[in-house]
Amino acid sequence: MYPFLALFGLEDQVWLAPAMFGAILLVSLLSAWVFHKLLFRLVLHLSQWTSSDLTSRMMRATRWPLTLGILVLGSYLAVTTPFELTDSQHGAADKVSGLLGIVLGIFALVGVLSRGIDWYLENLASHTQQVIDVKLIPLLRRGAVALIYGIGGLLILDLLGISISPLIAGLGLGGLAVALAIQPTLANLFAGTYVMTEGVVSPGDYVQLEGSIAGYVVEVGWRSTRVRTWGNNLVVVPNSKFAETIITNYQRPIPAVNVYLPCGVSYDTDLYRVEEICREVMGEVLEAEPSAVKEYGGWFGFDNFGDSNVNFWLFVQARDRLAGFELQTALIQRLHQRFRTEGIVINYPMRTLEFPKDWAVNGPPQLPGYRQAAHPNGGAAMRRRRRRPARDVYVPHDDGGGENVSGPGPA
């Protein structure tokens, strides 16, 4: 600069250095204004030709850091160019400008990252409706921002002449100690990440944990999952246990639930008539109850020959779990009323024992579990060591066409 000024005989002027300082500073201010008001708006207008507004959002995040960067660069040139600075002064100017540049770079990176994540949550996550978008990405953003600030802080310390090697080593050992101390919390955190990324449990779902808790999911957090039980109590389940147990979700894959009703009728009943009545009852319930899914229809089938009844089942579908209770209640009420009207009997648990025809004449045979005892009237009577339940009925055979006599077994 000075050889150039010497051509005009201006190298020894006292006012020259302050004038150059002011000129450079003025040019930097003018350049920053032109960039901020004119050039940036032009580039921003051109970016609107793209298919999305992601580019314009990121550019807006860098607007002020770049403008302030132009001012910092102009101030640095205004100080170092016209004045004869010593090595220490020049080093101080380099250090201050470097610190300001690092700070502006940190703010620019954080702004770009935040704007990009906000754009994703507003435009893409609304279409997927995943828990990972609502819970995980904000956490990742906070972690990334903290990482950028941490790296920037280390760069600032290194620029200030502070050795960061012992600090990094100390942070490594301290991080290991903290990780061991909060191991249960970290386990719940990673388990919460697993629960969220799986997407099989969402707030509002009715779930049942294997052999324990059942209720509605209130919130899926990072450390725990909150479940509201039928008693209107809030149960907090750690995510480490929640991720390891077997979970039944009654809202998936669709809210509709199947209502399965087992029943049985006496062996003396006409089974064809039973099927006809059951199908009529299911048709009436599907038409009358708003909680039923009429398109699914009703299904009927005989199951097995039980101890007391011929068992069968009815199968319909309800809109959701709560509607399933209403539909099952209506089905039981109507079916019971029709059976009473038709005279169809649903037996209590009972057992019928058949003995040989000469049992009443010669006495009962020697059976395991009985002992012979003298009867007061000179006869023999069988006495059991254990009393048979009162529901047992003994029916001896009579091949002579006489009347069967029913009565309790031997005392």
State yes or no: pLDDT of 160 exceeds 50: yes
Tokens of 367: 């059976």
Report the CATH number of the 200-249 domain: 2.30.30.60
Find where tokens 């324990």 sit.
212
Cα 15–chain centre separation = 73
pLDDT tens across 379-394, in order? 444 444 444 444 444 4
Q: How confident is the model at residue 318 (pLDDT cuts 50, 70, 90)?
A: very high
Q: Which of 116, 172, 106 is nearest to 145 (CA)?
A: 106
Q: pLDDT (tens digit, 9 = 90+) per residue, 175-228?
A: 777 666 666 766 767 677 777 667 778 888 888 888 778 899 998 877 788 899
Mean per-residue pLDDT over the chain, rounded: 79
What's the pLDDT tens digit per position in 230-256? 888 999 888 888 878 888 888 888 888
**Both structure tokens of 138:** 């904000």
CATH number of this structure's domain 257-342, picked from the four choices 3.40.50.300, 3.40.50.720, 3.30.70.100, 3.40.30.10: 3.30.70.100
Provide the residue type at 358 as one letter: D
Greater model confidence, 284 or 180: 284
Question: What are the pLDDT digits (tens) for 70-105?
Answer: 999 999 998 888 888 888 888 899 999 999 999 999
The per-residue pLDDT for 238 is 85
Q: Do domains 200-249 and 257-342 have the same CATH topology?
A: no
Cα gap 290→287, rounded to integer Å: 8
What burial class does residue 342 get, using C-beta atoms within 10 Å of its C-beta: 0-12 exposed, 13-18 middle, 19+ buried?
A: middle
Domains in the chain: boundaries = 2-177, 200-249, 257-342, 351-396
DSSP alpha helices (H): ranges in 37-82? 40-47, 54-61, 63-80
Q: What is the mean pLDDT of residues 60-67?
A: 90
Using omega within 30 degrees of 0 as the cis cutoff, is the peptide bond preceding 365 cis?
no
**3 state SS of 136:** helix
Q: 229 has which bridge partners?
A: 215
- What is the identity of the amino acid at 393? V
Secondary element (H or E) of residue 195? helix 183-198
Residue 330, CA distances (Å) to 192, 211, 226, 286, 313 in order = 41, 29, 33, 10, 15
